[in-house]
Structure 1
Amino acid sequence: MRKFLLVLVAVFPLSLMAQRWHITGFGGISNYQGDMQEKRITTNQAHGAFGLGAQYDLSGHVSVKGGLMYGTISGDDKFNKQEDLRKRNLNFTSRLLEGNLMAEFRLFDLDEKRLTPYVFAGIAVFGYDPYTYDTLGNKHYLQPYGTEGQGLSTYPDRKPYNRVQVALPFGGGIKFRLNDQVTLGYEIGLRKTFTDYLDDLSKSYVDYNTLLAEKGPVAVELAYRGDELKDGNPLYPADGTTRGGEKVKDWYYFQGITIGYRLFGGRNEFRGGAKGSGRQLDCPRNIF
């Protein structure tokens, strides 16, 4: 009997800690803001996205959470309002895979209230790889072509951009408790990046002959595509002509529905059982 009570005392705190863990899911859309998408938040050119993660409650108001997010971003000059940018005729698509670690703050404790707004922030690492299709429908990943002179000896200050980057995620939303185990929510999460090349577009055009000699005709074709338009300019822009806006870095974001499932059932121990499922969670007294 004494051994049983010792095991009970050891396991009891672990069961309480287990109630703090949640499995989380996300389903919604992903999009980006950059040289081919001027609006910060829009559903125009958005794509489906999903995520999976875990959350640990430090208290009734604060949690730490981490997970993986997968989505797609794209941009196309044909949707641009500015005529000169439409005539540039560039486009891209990229898959995104993100791993993140964040802190979440809820205004209300969901063990006391059924609804609460919340905010979150943290750090993330993501991978991307922009690509496009030529006039024959062939798919080309853009980074190796150095469309703005990246990696060319003539432009030593332009290095190939890394396709794995760090981002700062932050955002907010609202959560609704369906029962003691399940919550539903809606959130918007922005990602501040430190690159201007999510869309393979940032600075200026480089010399036609230099790009042709070092990277080949496909690189030239994908660097400027105005000649593909019926009324487009067939002449490749002069070296140094503005191609993108390098002063502002690119962003990407997710928005959609979240779901959380508390492991091992019941409300957690922060309420001490007073407003939980009705079961008293006080430790047994005088067991020895």
Structure 2
Amino acid sequence: MKKILLAGMLLPLMTQAQWNVNLFGGFSNYFGDLQEHPYTTQQSNGSFGAGLQYDVSGHFSVLSNLTCGRVSAADGYATQTDHRARNLNFETVIGEWNLLAEYNLFDLRKHKLTPYVFAGVAVYHFNPYAYDTAGKKVYLRPLSTEGEGLTQYPGRKPYALTQLAIPMGGGIKFRISDRVTLAYEIGLRKLFTDYLDDVSNRYVSQANLLAAKGPEAVEMAYRGNELKGGATYPPDGTVRGNPKHKDWYYMSGLRVTIALNSLRIAEFRRHSGVLDCPKRVY
């Protein structure tokens, strides 16, 4: 009897459910020690993704996507004088897998337009790098630019390159046809690291960094001396970043959702008793 009741409760949901393919394209950026604006298209880069979506009902969906984007920033764009004098920059490619729950305010089988929100969990990989004065690509984590892993700074541990994030965001959807929906969305990622840009805390002793990691680490830890009239390497303990605020990255753009195995919208509307207004007869 319990099985029959459970089946009776689940059957309406299952008959309304459908599978979809999601395709995403847009731009990516970040907010941290080398980017002054919480949300901006300045210094943005391209991003793209694809995944599957399972519509449990007309309002609620579960999604899983693979996305890839690149973020970069440079102190040369900063308005703060001390940041421009620091002259740091970085880039990193971000690969992400996420699992999301999504809620539509309106049922797109009955409406053409709806706002929506989403949130979930993600695993992402990053590896910050910069280019030296000779144009060589240099990965920053192995250099311990803030003393991560050095015996003189036991409280500073090397940061992991694969971590968890909390994605959240929203947008607006427009139903183009029975099976195709177009959306514009903004997705933020709350991170648990301040080293997406390899900048977080304070400068370490130039002598200690030189002895442990070599001249390349000193060169990439402070680049103000590359500027005309720039200062020399700062003393040990000078502020380099702000560890009180973790980094964020975000992706914004267009998402196309293509239904795979559901009843067409017109069929749903007939079965559910939702009828379009009759055409005017002359």
TM-score normalised to the size of structure 1?
Answer: 0.88
Root-mean-square deviation (Å): 1.9
Alpha-carbon distance between aligned partners in 2 of 1:168 and 1:252, rounded to the nearest angstrom: 11
Paired residues for 1:203-222 under 5 Å:
203-222=201-220
Letter in 2 for 1:242: V
Q: Which of the numbers 233, 250, 255 marks the counterpart of 1:253?
A: 250
Task: State whether residues 150 and 212 of structure 2, in contact with CA within 8 Å, keep that contact through their aligned partners in structure 1.
Answer: yes
Deviation of the 1:58 alpha carbon? 1.0
Deviation of the 1:158 alpha carbon? 0.6
Deviation of the 1:136 alpha carbon? 0.4
Task: State whether residues 60 and 270 of structure 1, in contact with CA within 8 Å, keep that contact through their aligned partners in structure 2.
Answer: no
Alpha-carbon distance between aligned partners in 2 of 1:274 and 1:221, rounded to the nearest angstrom: 68
Alpha-carbon distance between aligned partners in 1 of 2:53 and 2:262, rounded to the nearest angstrom: 15
Residues 132, 277 of structure 1: alpha-carbon distance in 2 compared, 3 angstrom cutoff: farther
Alpha-carbon distance between aligned partners in 1 of 2:142 and 2:23, rounded to the nearest angstrom: 35
Residue-pair matches, total? 263
Please name the residue that 2:168 is paired with.
170
Deviation of the 1:274 alpha carbon? 3.0
Task: State whether residues 16 and 58 of structure 2, in contact with CA within 8 Å, keep that contact through their aligned partners in structure 1.
Answer: no
Q: Which of the numbers 250, 262, 267 marks the counterpart of 2:264?
A: 267
Alpha-carbon distance between aligned partners in 1 of 2:212 and 2:20, rounded to the nearest angstrom: 53
Q: Which of the numbers 154, 157, 160 marks the counterpart of 2:158?
A: 160
Query: Do structure 1's residue 237 and structure 2's residue 250 form an aligned pair?
Result: no
Letter in 2 for 1:34: G
Of the structure 1 ranges 257-266 and 142-151, higher mean CA displacement relative to structure 2 is found in 257-266
Please name the residue that 1:63 is paired with.
61
Residues 236, 61 of structure 1: alpha-carbon distance in 2 compared, 3 angstrom cutoff: same
Please name the residue that 1:189 is paired with.
187
Q: Which of the numbers 123, 128, 132 marks the counterpart of 1:130?
A: 128
Gaps of 5+ in 2: 1-10, 277-282
Paired residues for 1:101-140 under 5 Å:
101-140=99-138
Task: State whether residues 126 and 167 of structure 1, in contact with CA within 8 Å, keep that contact through their aligned partners in structure 2.
Answer: yes
Residues 265, 276 of structure 1: alpha-carbon distance in 2 compared, 3 angstrom cutoff: farther
The one-character-per-residue Cα deviations of 1:161-197 (angstroms, maximum 9, x if unpaired) are 0000110000000000011100001000000000000
Alpha-carbon distance between aligned partners in 1 of 2:67 and 2:256, rounded to the nearest angstrom: 14
Please name the residue that 2:81 is paired with.
83
Task: State whether residues 18 and 264 of structure 1, in contact with CA within 8 Å, keep that contact through their aligned partners in structure 2.
Answer: no
Task: State whether residues 128 and 198 of structure 2, in contact with CA within 8 Å, keep that contact through their aligned partners in structure 1.
Answer: yes
Identity %: 55
TM-score normalised to the size of structure 2?
Answer: 0.89
Task: State whether residues 19 and 262 of structure 2, in contact with CA within 8 Å, keep that contact through their aligned partners in structure 1.
Answer: no
Alpha-carbon distance between aligned partners in 1 of 2:158 and 2:179, rounded to the nearest angstrom: 48
Deviation of the 1:264 alpha carbon? 2.9
